[in-house]
């Protein structure tokens, strides 16, 4: 059994984020072939190309964490019909300077939750556009726009609705299949 290391990003910096709850649920529902680890970005300064010649230690560590995983999962809210600024800043750090993009050929998936009926559909489309530019192969289906209702997911990641739990379990199983397929064509060390 091949185990793939998956780094996940939680788009919200808020400690009580419903997307953090969703990420906790996904970690609980993941198939055994995926080893999950959060990649945090809250301590990154605002990106500027002035740093390109000498990245600060926090940015070097952040980029190394992405390089160390086989795939990335984005769990993001929607802010003003797009992704949170902190998440975009993190992606900018990881993809710069030119020629050192940590997302190149790294399989990715996007999911998110919101109280709204369309979940995080518009933010996900915005993020997908950025990931396309970053040359990250993306799992396009199943799409996952989770409408969050009070009590749907506990703080420790237990999903209280059986059909939602099954959908999320299937999403992660599909992500595993996608990672294996991409890695068979684009090996990490190639």
pLDDT of residue 190: 57
Structure-block tokens of residue 121: 């559909």
Rounded Cα distance, 186 and 190, in Å = 7
Q: Which residues of the chain have pLDDT under 70?
A: 189-190
pLDDT of residue 19: 97
Report the SS3 class of residue 63: helix
Rounded Cα distance, 119 and 172, in Å = 18
Structural domains in the chain, CATH included, are 4-183 (3.40.50.360)
pLDDT of residue 189: 65
DSSP symbol at 145: E
pTM of the complete model: 0.96
CA dihedral 154, 158, 160, 163 (to 10 degrees): 140
DSSP letters spanning 88-121: HHHHHHHH-STT--TTTT--EEEEEEESSTTTTH
Rounded Cα distance, 159 and 25, in Å = 6
Reported as type and span, the H/E element at residue 127 is helix 121-133
pLDDT digits (tens, 9 = 90+) for 39-87: 999 999 999 999 999 999 999 999 999 999 999 999 999 999 999 999 9
- Is-contact 74 38, C-beta < 8 A? no
């Amino acid at each position: 059994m091949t185990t793939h290391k998956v780094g996940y990003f939680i788009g919200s910096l808020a400690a009580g984020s419903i997307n953090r709850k969703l990420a906790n649920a996904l970690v609980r529902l993941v198939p055994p072939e995926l080893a999950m680890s959060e990649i945090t970005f809250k301590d990154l300064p605002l990106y500027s190309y002035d740093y390109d010649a000498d990245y600060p230690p926090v940015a070097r560590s952040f980029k190394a964490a992405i390089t160390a995983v086989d795939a990335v999962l984005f769990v993001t809210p929607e802010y003003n019909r797009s992704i949170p600024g902190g998440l975009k800043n993190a992606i900018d750090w990881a993809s710069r300077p030119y020629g050192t993009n940590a997302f190149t050929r790294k399989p990715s998936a996007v999911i998110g939750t919101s109280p709204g009926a369309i979940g995080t559909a518009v933010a996900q489309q915005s993020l997908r556009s950025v990931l396309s530019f970053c040359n990250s192969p993306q799992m396009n289906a199943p799409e996952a726009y989770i409408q969050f209702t009070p009590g749907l997911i506990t703080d420790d990641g237990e999903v209280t609705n059986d059909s939602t739990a099954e959908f999320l379990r299937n999403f992660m199983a599909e992500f595993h299949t996608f990672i294996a397929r991409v890695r068979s064509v684009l090996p990490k060390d190639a």
